[in-house]
Structure 1
Amino acid sequence: MTKRFTALFSHRQDQPARAHQERDDMKRSLSLLALLLLLPSVVAANEKNSRPPNVVLIMADDLGYHELGCYGQKWIKTPNIDRIAAQGIRFTQFYSGNAVCAPARCCLMTGKHPGHAFIRTNNAAKHLHHLASKFGWEFDGQRPIPDDEVTLAEVLKQKGYATAAIGKWGLGHFGTSGDPNKQGFDLFYGFNCQRHAHNHYPRFLWRNHKKEVLPGNDRTLNGETYSQDKFTEVALEFIRENKDRPFFLYLPFAIPHLSIQAPEKSVAEYRGKIPEEDYKHKGYLQHPTPRAGYAAMITHMDRDIGKILSLVGKLGLNDETLVIFTSDNGPTYERLGGSDSEFFESAGPMRGLKGSLYEGGIRVPLVAKWPGHIKPDSTSDHLCAFWDLMPTIAQLAGTKTPKGIDGISFAPTLLGEPGKQKEHDYLYWEFPSYGGQQAVRMGKWKGIRQNMLKKNNPDPLRIELYDLDADIGETNDVAQANPDVVERIRTAMKEAHDPSELFPIKPIDGTQQ
């Protein structure tokens, strides 16, 4: 082509018609050359625009709604998570899947609310202990989700995503149907069993089916290798290795779940600056300065999140990466393990903590950023929950979700298109533990049943009713004054509950509710 341009420029013709023809040929050739020269950048731009977003989904463990700076925390510093909120959106009415670890994670991974989800409470897989020696388990793990459950990772594999789960799994051990490598994840690294995660200086972590021994750790208060640091290290490796293709990085960190443990450098930031107080220690390892230690865990995690955000930026992936941060349920209760949710006002003005279907046990933080797509420094009061994450991420990735899920995509809210946002008629929870509970959020109304499984409860089906617009602390039961609302909530509780043989709630498993 270049030789043709040279000939066209150097060749002269005396005949006018021929000269015009040559000039037209030259213009066409120049246009073609320009197109060819631009083609690589055009193709690259089109590929960039058509590539589905990378997804980094970070989940803390037992972090309260009020334990982040962007949600009003005074003592604990979380500048990097706050930056996600500042550069994106902060949700004020987002809910976990349930009040404790495993059932919440099941809702997130499968897009189903607790009335349909397979896992509905924490439940050790002791019935599978015969597999321990075969697969090298030291902890039994939790009851596994079955093969026919479709996870968020499997949904994204349809679009060619590289997938990793790094942190705490809790939905089935290796060698079972809940094995994360059988549920759509190319890489799993961390704690498979949540009991294993009760110490942040473990003797080993799992890399897929292999144990990775951590020298210098013996499951005491301190050690040589902090598990959180390993999670971050492997997450950074995964991002680097998959920077040229869409990736899904699921980071269910084990912080700030007990035991209270953090490297000395992180604890030193708070020691002497946060007042300590005598208390009666119960459960988990005892930390000498538990409030400072607890704050240090969260700030240490926040710093690691900063490293992840920094790498995404250095690789030029900011505009192609959706980052989401949330927590699996509310904060810990009764100074267990030295925790102090009252001092930190961990649940803010809300009633209840971990294990409770009152607001403090299930309303959790959610912040997200995606430059060029999510408006910076925005806030949403859209009602949504863990089971909405699957259809939301699937829509943004351009892939399909399985039939029978309960989630509704809130992608329109993320993208600043509220007119396109579909709403839930209600959000539903059930929890066959901590006395047995049911709850429904319906607009401003919150209906809840408590102590459904306690002996000698004269009315296990009684519904408490709260107007959350006027009473976020759920202190004033207005059921008697609003019988029509109570009946609507009773109907919702009945239609949302599918009985489970594994997790029965006898008062509602029959026809009368």
Structure 2
Amino acid sequence: MTHTRLACSSILILGWVSACHQAPHRAAVQHDGRPNIVWFMADDLGWGELGCYGQDKIRTPRIDLLAAEGMLFEQHYSGAPVCAPARCVLMTGMHSGHAHVRGNFEIGGWGDDDGEGQLPLPEGTATLPGLLQAAGYSTCAVGKWGLGGPGTSGEPNRQGFDHWFGYLCQRQAHNQYPTHLWRNGERVDLEGNVWKNLTGKQYAHDLMADEILGWIRDNADGPFFVYVPFHIPHAAIQVPEDSLDEYDGAFDEDPPYVGDQGYLPHPTPRAAYAAMITRMDRDVGRIVDLLDELGLRDNTLVAFSSDNGPTFNGGTDSTFFESAAHFRGLKGSVYEGGLRVPLVVNWPGKVPEASRTRHLSAFQDVMPTLLEIAGVPAPDNLDGISFAPTLRSEGDQREHEALYFEFPSYGGQQAVRAGRWKLVRRQLLKAEPTIALYDMEADESEAVDVASRHPGVVKRLMGIADREHQPSEHFPFPALD
């Protein structure tokens, strides 16, 4: 295994010079008319944690501007209520009843020097970046991966990405000041950082933002696909002082977090959590500004989403921030709070400004959508449906019969969303599982179970649930298999 060392004295050793140190670029000339794609995905960011979705305590001006000048999706869903399976659905277009990864299947240990990674994607998997790469796109991913550790078939460079930098293992991403990251199969040690220390010399998010800026500059002739799975605001709550200062005294009360719910303690967790999100928002803006500087903005689709709902531990305060808005549940739950996520799509001259849509969509739809936009044929077996017609505000948008979700953890859960109806089955690994039906047109907060009033609807949605689950050797689900 190859190692490099990144000295804390100079960010320039990242491999590209940070944008703030470069001379102004003249506009890039793209010789291929196909659009560029930049897909941002936050980590554990709730539906209600952006200003454009109603947040009033956390400042997100750059993402809000993307929404104001683009399209905001009101009913977009993750692929699963936790990290790894959600990412698998996004990358493969297969919903969680068919996907290879259906939970956070951990490989290795929880220490800094233990083995790294989660269940890897198999060799030969048809992935979004792989199909774009084969069609001539330059492909880059920077952030948190979670679909295969070092040396496995799931490494990003083996799944269609020309360039990778970030955390391969989700557990390593529980520390914002890690001792190392990975670039294209090579371990990059970060001098000045100590495992599980509240502060350090090199903030991983900053390194990643600079990496993206450098890569885009070097590949500006396009077309390119840049996947940016930022690991903010996942716990631990850690942020540099300059960002924390922006929220100094912002909240009347900010009781210290002592570490009793996992991760690191923090003296001002509310301010620090908000500051993490605002710092990420700043860097979304920096990347969009670079596209403008290079003359690429009009030919680049930019999207921002989150991998699942907001978390419940590590000192985060979803009640104070109303992180899940009016929805029930949090991360790990197939209620709306765990599954419904923000999605903003911006593409000047192509996606209507200041538009909103109630179109029902989910992560499995992203792959066929982006392939259609790039002019690349999609595999026939995908579970997703392209929502490109919605982005173009055309009237020929196909609709799902239903969106299907399963999660073989947290007691065993299953959900089906079909039009106005949502079926939720929980405690499927317990002796007495529950089943409920919600009318999403009248009750988005899933407060009133109407299953007894609509037995025919329950029967129909149960049929869909039974049909969409396929057994998995890695994620046994006895109640469904």
TM-score past 0.5 threshold: yes
2:356 to 355, 379, 394: 379
Deviation at 1:278, TM superposition (A): 5.8
Query: Does the 8 Å contact 1:158/1:399 carry over to 2?
Result: no
Query: Does the 8 Å contact 2:192/2:202 carry over to 1?
Result: yes
Deviation at 1:139, TM superposition (A): 3.7
Match of 2:171 in 1: 195
Match of 2:286 in 1: 307
Match of 1:329 in 2: 308
- Separation in 1 of the partners of 2:34 and 2:93? 20
- Separation in 1 of the partners of 2:295 and 2:369? 24
Q: How does 1:212-291 map to 2 (within 5 A)?
A: 212-219=188-195, 220-274=197-251, 275-277=253-255, 281-291=260-270
Match of 2:20 in 1: none
- Separation in 2 of the partners of 1:269 and 1:357? 35
Match of 2:404 in 1: 428
Q: TM-score, normalised by structure 2?
A: 0.91
Query: Does the 8 Å contact 2:232/2:277 carry over to 1?
Result: yes
Query: Does the 8 Å contact 1:142/1:170 carry over to 2?
Result: yes
Q: How does 1:107-506 map to 2 (within 5 A)?
A: 107-126=89-108, 138-219=114-195, 220-274=197-251, 275-277=253-255, 281-333=260-312, 336-417=313-394, 419-454=395-430, 457-458=431-432, 460=433, 462-506=434-478
Greater mean deviation of Cα atoms: 495-504 or 274-283: 274-283
Match of 1:72 in 2: 54
Deviation at 1:185, TM superposition (A): 0.6
- Separation in 2 of the partners of 1:144 and 1:137? 19
Count of residues in Structure 1 that have an aligned counterpart in Structure 2: 449
Match of 1:29 in 2: none
Q: Deviations over 1:135-163 (max 9, x none)?
A: x9744200101113111101111221111
Query: Does the 8 Å contact 2:257/2:269 carry over to 1?
Result: no
Amino acid of the residue matched to residue 119 of structure 2?
Answer: R
| RMSD (CA atoms) | 1.6
Q: Deviations over 1:49-96 (max 9, x none)?
A: x62111000000000000000000010000010011011100000000
Provide structure 2 residue ranges, at least 5 long, that are not aligned to the other structure. 1-27
Deviation at 1:209, TM superposition (A): 1.2
- Separation in 1 of the partners of 2:183 and 2:328? 39
- Separation in 2 of the partners of 1:508 and 1:203? 41
Greater mean deviation of Cα atoms: 186-195 or 153-162: 153-162
In structure 2, do the counterparts of structure 1 residues 371 and 140 end up closer, same or farther at CA, with 3 Å as the change threshold? same
Match of 1:35 in 2: none
Amino acid of the residue matched to residue 255 of structure 2?
Answer: E
Amino acid of the residue matched to residue 274 of structure 2?
Answer: A
Amino acid of the residue matched to residue 332 of structure 1?
Answer: T
Q: Deviations over 1:322-344 (max 9, x none)?
A: 001000000011xx211000000
Deviation at 1:173, TM superposition (A): 1.3
Amino acid of the residue matched to residue 444 of structure 2?
Answer: I
Please say if 1:101 is aligned against 2:83.
yes
Q: Deviations over 1:418-476 (max 9, x none)?
A: x110000000000000110000000011101001112xx23x3x420000111111010
- Separation in 2 of the partners of 1:211 and 1:507? 41
- Separation in 2 of the partners of 1:139 and 1:248? 30
Query: Does the 8 Å contact 1:436/1:450 carry over to 2?
Result: yes
Match of 1:8 in 2: none
- Separation in 2 of the partners of 1:505 and 1:138? 29
User: Residue 420 of structure 1: SS of its match in structure 2?
Assistant: coil
User: Residue 320 of structure 2: SS of its match in structure 1?
Assistant: coil
In structure 2, do the counterparts of structure 1 residues 446 and 224 end up closer, same or farther at CA, with 3 Å as the change threshold? same
